[in-house]
């Protein structure tokens, strides 16, 4: 077995690989850019080598630097993780030529399946059903428009070398195609150094289901069942689960057999994923093959008990697979939520900065019957950089059934607290509570369907209203006692975003807080775990534990339970009457301003002072996290001022263009 492996990646996947190597007794070398000098992966690895500045094109994407680090440290093999050079056949071939093991598939398999255009042609020749489209290279927007007309809208524009949801647009018209084609080529070149683009028919109301395959260098290939990855935003997966709530056993076996046949046809010899687009009728079509470890591999590990990173290492060493297809089975259900540094209340725009606070849920089995796994590459105090993907963690839950796994995930999200930047935990919690998601009736359009106007949180349910009231009055009582000024009052009015809720308090013989609501009903609050200054309020309400995120504000508390958040005030009935008479603060009028929605770099400002602009015309393009964001005019107008130019760094809410 290898004695030392170099990890040519960063973040949570680097940490994940290090953990398996430690268990196997293998030393690790972590390469890092200047931006990652103080990272968790660097701290955990046995050795670390600086390979360049922060931009990936000057560090993680430079094969020469990786090879030099291998030679410098005496590593015998390279694990590329995902992204960066993981699906670069030239890099895999370079390592082989230099006598360095590549912990991934052979370069010929990457060539055959790693390129989306070539893989679709190969799959069609092998008799695998594929989505209709144009697999040839397309050079101009005019050519793209002509081809799209033949396929029929809607059409998906995809970067051939794409991945991670980048380099993808859906066009519904000739105008969409012309604009989207240029944007995809630009994103593809910036992210992958390859601007080739192809087109395929966009299947309406589809589901994204993928099969995990695993092969060795002796011709053996098995599948480890499926993952449902239909909860996506901007074509990037957000929530994954295994198995899929759509598939029956016959469809599962058919997809698995097709994936294995395709892998065997290209002599696949590592972990890989065959992706399918599936209809609600369980029909399925080959989409692409990812010739690497997937981000969502933990859910497969949780239901099969197989460590995929370990199997990749053993395959690269030349070992036979230790199991056959009939040895594998599905045990329970697993859910993965991708926690990103992005603000769901601002259109999910990237939110970079320092992670001032990061409290993670306890990993391992919980007494309520679910198990938590949290793959993270950052710690409290770390910086989330604009140079890389904004993922903070992959939070997973496992339980015997899907409903139990969903309940476990919801509780794990409650126990996750982040501060210092925007994050999508409230949104993930909202999905866990949505009846449609819990029913399993989902599609890749789920987020757009359920949140058509963006995410603004959810209205508190009756139980959540009781949680907000109970947490607020309990904190009010505790704070008053600790300040030496306890109140004997038992009747309060609790304002939840200005809505009054009457409540009477008392205590029983066990010192539990009893609440009687004026609107009807009672509640019993026990196991209170909070003191002034703590950001999380933990307790049990009527026998069910909960965690709420809390903060003191000027005249009350800001409280969030899952996707419901509110300003909560505990007042005497008289003060509550006076509050009701106060006018609400009016938001500033920014209708004539085009503001930067996120920190980033200005790619272009294609308007000038005095220019007449129509609604829908592009007025600015901002790049952040390797994605281009096109800002369009929301009204007709004449440009009064332009406050930025191409190449300028901008912060969130900086004024870019002002209309007269």
What is the per-residue pLDDT for 164?
A: 66
Q: What is the dihedral of CA 525, 528, 531, 534, to 10 degrees?
A: -100
8 A C-beta contact, residue 621 and residue 602: yes
Question: Any idea what DSSP says for residue 130?
Answer: B
How far is it, in rounded angstroms, from Cα 622 to Cα 603? 5
8 A C-beta contact, residue 413 and residue 395: yes
Place of tokens 């800002």: 631
pTM listed for this prediction: 0.84
Q: Could you tell me where the beta strands, DSSP code E, fall in 10-112?
A: 27-33, 47-52, 77-79, 101-102
Exposure on the CB side of residue 399, measured as CA atoms within 13 A: 20
How far is it, in rounded angstroms, from Cα 330 to Cα 477? 49
| Cα→Cα distances 240→39, 296, 352, 553, Å | 26, 7, 24, 36
Tell me whether strands 627-632 and 612-613 are parallel, antiparallel or unpaired: unpaired
Closest residue by Cα to residue 212 from 135, 154, 291: 291
8 A C-beta contact, residue 45 and residue 30: yes
Q: Chunk the chain into consecutive blocks of 10 residues (it has 660) and report each block's average pLDDT, rounded to whole numbers.
A: 98 98 98 97 98 95 98 98 95 97 97 80 79 83 92 89 79 93 89 87 89 97 98 92 97 95 94 94 90 97 98 98 97 98 86 91 95 97 89 97 98 96 96 96 95 93 97 94 80 94 94 94 96 95 97 93 96 89 76 84 91 90 78 89 90 88
> C-alpha angle 289/629/55, rounded to 5°?
70
How far is it, in rounded angstroms, from Cα 118 to Cα 293? 20
8 A C-beta contact, residue 271 and residue 293: yes
What is the per-residue pLDDT for 626?
A: 62
Is residue 288 annotated as a catalytic residue, yes or no?
Answer: yes
Q: Among residues 288, 296, 336, 342, which one is catalytic?
A: 288
How far is it, in rounded angstroms, from Cα 644 to Cα 657? 8
How far is it, in rounded angstroms, from Cα 217 to Cα 198? 32
What is the per-residue pLDDT for 590?
A: 78
pLDDT tens sequence across 157-201: 998 886 667 789 999 999 999 999 999 998 888 888 888 998 988
DSSP lists the bridge partners of residue 79 as 7
How far is it, in rounded angstroms, from Cα 220 to Cα 222? 7
Exposure on the CB side of residue 256, measured as CA atoms within 13 A: 22
DSSP lists the bridge partners of residue 524 as 514
């Amino acid at each position: 077995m290898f004695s030392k492996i170099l990890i040519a990646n960063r973040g949570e996947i680097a940490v994940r690989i290090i953990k398996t190597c430690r268990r196997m007794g293998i030393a690790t070398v972590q390469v890092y850019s200047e931006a990652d000098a103080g990272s968790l992966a660097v701290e955990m690895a046995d050795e670390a080598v600086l390979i360049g500045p922060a931009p990936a094109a000057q560090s993680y994407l430079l094969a020469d630097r990786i090879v030099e680090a291998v030679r410098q440290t005496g590593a015998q093999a390279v694990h590329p993780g995902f992204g960066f050079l993981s699906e670069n056949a030239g890099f895999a071939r370079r390592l082989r030529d230099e006598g360095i093991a590549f912990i991934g598939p052979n370069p010929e398999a990457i060539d055959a399946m790693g390129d989306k255009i070539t893989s679709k042609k190969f799959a069609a020749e092998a008799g695998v059903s594929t989505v209709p489209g144009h697999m040839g290279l397309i050079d101009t927007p005019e050519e793209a428009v002509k081809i799209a007309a033949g396929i029929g809208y809607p059409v998906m524009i995809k970067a051939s070398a794409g991945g991670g949801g980048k380099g993808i647009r859906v066009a519904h018209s000739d105008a969409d195609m012309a604009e989207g084609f240029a944007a995809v080529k630009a994103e593809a070149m910036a992210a992958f150094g390859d601007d080739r683009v192809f087109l395929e028919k966009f299947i309406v109301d589809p589901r994204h289901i993928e099969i995990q395959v695993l092969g060795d260098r002796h011709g053996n290939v098995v599948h480890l069942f499926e993952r449902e990855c239909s909860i996506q935003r901007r074509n990037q997966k957000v929530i994954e689960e295994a198995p899929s709530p759509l598939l029956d056993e016959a469809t599962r076996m058919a997809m698995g057999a097709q994936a294995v046949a395709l892998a065997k046809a290209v002599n696949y010899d590592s972990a890989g994923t065959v992706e399918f687009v599936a209809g609600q009728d369980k029909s399925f079509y080959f989409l692409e093959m990812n010739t690497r470890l997937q981000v969502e591999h933990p859910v497969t590990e949780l239901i099969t008990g197989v460590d995929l990173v370990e199997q990749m290492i053993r395959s690269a060493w030349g070992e036979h697979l230790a199991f056959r297809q009939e040895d594998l089975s599905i045990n329970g259900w697993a859910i993965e939520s991708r926690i990103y540094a992005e603000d769901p209340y601002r259109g999910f725009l990237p939110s970079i900065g320092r992670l001032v606070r990061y409290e993670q849920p306890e990993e391992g089995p919980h007494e309520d019957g679910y198990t938590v796994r949290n793959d993270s590459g950052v710690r409290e105090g770390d910086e989330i950089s604009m140079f890389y993907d904004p993922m903070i963690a992959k939070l997973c839950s496992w339980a015997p059934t899907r409903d139990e796994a969903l309940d476990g995930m919801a509780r794990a999200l409650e126990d996750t607290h982040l501060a210092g930047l925007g994050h999508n935990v409230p949104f993930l919690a909202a999905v866990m509570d949505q009846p449609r998601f819990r029913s399993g009736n989902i599609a890749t359009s789920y987020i757009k369907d359920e949140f058509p106007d963006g995410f603004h949180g959810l209205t508190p349910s009756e139980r959540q209203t009781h949680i907000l009231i109970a947490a607020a009055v309990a904190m009010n009582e505790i704070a008053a006692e600790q300040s030496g000024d306890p109140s004997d009052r038992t009747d309060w009015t609790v304002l939840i975003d200005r809505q009054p809720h009457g409540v009477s308090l008392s205590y029983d013989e066990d010192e539990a807080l009893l609440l009687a609501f004026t609107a009807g009903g009672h509640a019993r609050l026990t196991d209170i775990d909070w003191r002034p200054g703590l950001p999380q309020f933990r307790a049990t309400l009527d026998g069910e534990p909960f965690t709420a995120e809390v903060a003191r504000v000027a005249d009350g508390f800001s409280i969030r339970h899952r996707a419901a958040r509110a300003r909560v005030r505990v007042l005497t009935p008289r003060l509550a009457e006076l509050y009701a008479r106060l006018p609400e603060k009016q938001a500033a009028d920014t209708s004539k301003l085009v503001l930067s929605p996120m920190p980033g770099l200005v790619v272009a400002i294609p308007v000038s002072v005095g220019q007449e602009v129509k609604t829908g015309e592009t007025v600015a393009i901002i790049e952040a996290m390797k994605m281009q964001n096109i800002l369009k005019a929301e009204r007709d107008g004449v440009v009064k001022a332009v406050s930025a130019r191409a190449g300028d760094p901008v912060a969130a809410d900086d004024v870019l263009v002002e209309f007269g």
